[in-house]
Amino acid sequence: MVEQIQLRYGINPHQAPATASAIGEWPFEVLNGQPGYINLLDAMSSWSLVRELRAALDQPAAASFKHVSPAGAALGLPILQRLARAYEVENLELSPVASAYVRARGGDLVSAYGDFAAVSDVVDESLARFLRREVSDGIIAPGYEPAALEILSKKKGGRYLILQADPSADMSEVESRDHFGIRLEQPLDDKTIDESIFDNPVTELTDFPDGVRRDLLVATIALRYTQSNSVCVAADGQVIGLGAGQQSRIHCSRLACGKADRWMLQQHGQVLGLEFDSSLKRPDRFAAREQYIAWQELSHPERERLQSQIVNWPGPLSDDERREWISQFRNVLSHDAFMPFRDNVDRAQASAVTHILQPGGSIADGDTTDACNQYGIVMALTGQRLFRH
């Protein structure tokens, strides 16, 4: 039994030596590469997330993690043509597990650069071929087909981190952290997130259709593994906007909804029709499309550089064009704690949010409920806070 492994270094390169030690059953095997401190934080959180999504929704699941929060998470549903063009995968044959990871990464293509990947099912050759071309630090999965393992073992000059999770390993019932000479301990946050979260609607409209329930389960489970405060927007079985780690909840909502807006606008015909300088690599094209969408926020030098990268400059999208396009979508939103003010609802409705989940418990619950009724949004109170620090 593994008791301890040597890490490349701690959170920063100057924090060495660093180790990882077992406090119970060792939960994974290192198949390739040498993990770092942050790698293991991302690996354990992302593996827990995809395992929970798989159990809750009975679909292959994937996550793309950066700095101990998901950049994206998704189920292995088919990718529609417009979205496939935005993700630049329209010519690829994708298995369900590969589709899950493409969708997870696609929820925030810029943030996912250099991610840690996790999937709930065995990695097949389809997923390995896709990962081979992406900038990624490592992956954790319950198993690997021989051909997939051979492909990934050659990535990054043979240094790509490949971890094989042990699905049968029991997680400790207590988690602890040493900090400034004291040890903090608490029970593991394993309270079930299931259909019961829809049992307490408080708005005039109360219907949660099947697709909405699926997307809200994806969003809410993702929040359990996101640094708080956090707000998550989801659609079509995937996270499309996640605002994490902010001191103010409205800032989380603005981040999450702003990312969701960019995800929707990346599928706009004018954005899909952009033609780039042939020297731009795929990650640069993703970044350029995001800058094009965020034109009003760019500085003058950023605008000049962007225009030099696009060979058929069409001019920016107008506010009316943006609003009209976003209005076609139907998204859902979940909060990890109560909404203290109605401004979170005001921001959500501008990003085509039709259903909201939140724990409730604020003195402003009545105000947020009134705001939902004003916009025709359905909201339920779960009574379950999902802070993570």
Residues recognised as catalytic: 66-67, 229, 389
Q: What is the DSSP letter of 6?
A: E
Task: Give me 83's structure tokens.
Answer: 């979205």
Query: Could you tell me if 202 and 378 are in contact, meaning their C-beta atoms sit under 8 angstroms apart?
Result: no
Q: Which helix (H) or strand (E) holds 240?
A: strand 238-244
DSSP track, 160-184: -EEEEE-TTPPPPSEEEEEETTEEE
Q: Would you call 232 helix, strand, or coil by DSSP?
A: strand
The conformational region for residue 172 under phi > 0 = left, psi -120 to 50 = alpha, else beta, is: beta
Query: Could you tell me if 100 and 118 are in contact, meaning their C-beta atoms sit under 8 angstroms apart?
Result: no
Instruction: Give dist(CA 41, CA 341) in Å, integer.
Output: 33
- Of 335, 348, 351, 331, whose CA–CA distance to 246 is shortest? 335
Q: Would you call 52 helix, strand, or coil by DSSP?
A: helix
Instruction: Give dist(CA 135, CA 114) in Å, integer.
Output: 5
Instruction: Give dist(CA 216, CA 222) in Å, integer.
Output: 10
Query: Could you tell me if 253 and 232 are in contact, meaning their C-beta atoms sit under 8 angstroms apart?
Result: no
Crossing angle between the packed helical segments 249-265 and 282-293, to the nearest 10 degrees = 110
Query: Could you tell me if 174 and 188 are in contact, meaning their C-beta atoms sit under 8 angstroms apart?
Result: yes
Phi/psi for 295 (5° steps) reads: -50, -45
- Of 210, 188, 199, whose CA–CA distance to 382 is shortest? 199
Helix, strand, coil percentages in the chain from 3-state DSSP, rounded to 5: 40, 20, 40
Instruction: Give dist(CA 44, CA 107) in Å, integer.
Output: 21
* Residue in the block written with tokens 């094009």: 292
Instruction: Give dist(CA 246, CA 335) in Å, integer.
Output: 13
